[in-house]
Amino acid sequence: MPETRTISLPAELCDRVEKKFAQRFRSLEEMLAFVLSELLRDDAAQADRKEQLMIDQRLKDLGYL
């Protein structure tokens, strides 16, 4: 099992999140892990798009496109 960390969040926020997402996630920790993973994945996808645009521009500048 991966190493874990403890964080502090307002109890009211945690209660509201647990109620709202109880059908989809077994715990607040599971939901937060999912959300954080999705945010990282989105950042990586945006970086890939920017990289591709830079490559395309470079190839165009060199006359290949």
DSSP-derived letter for residue 24 is: T
At 2-61, the pLDDT tens digits run 899 999 999 999 999 999 999 999 999 999 999 988 888 877 677 777 888 888 888 888
Hey, where are the domains in the chain?
Answer: 11-61
Structure tokens at 62: 């060199």
Q: What is the pLDDT of residue 8?
A: 94
Q: Give per-residue pLDDT as tens, 33-50.
A: 999 888 888 776 777 778
Residue 36 burial by Cβ neighbours in a 10 Å radius (0-12, 13-18, 19+): exposed
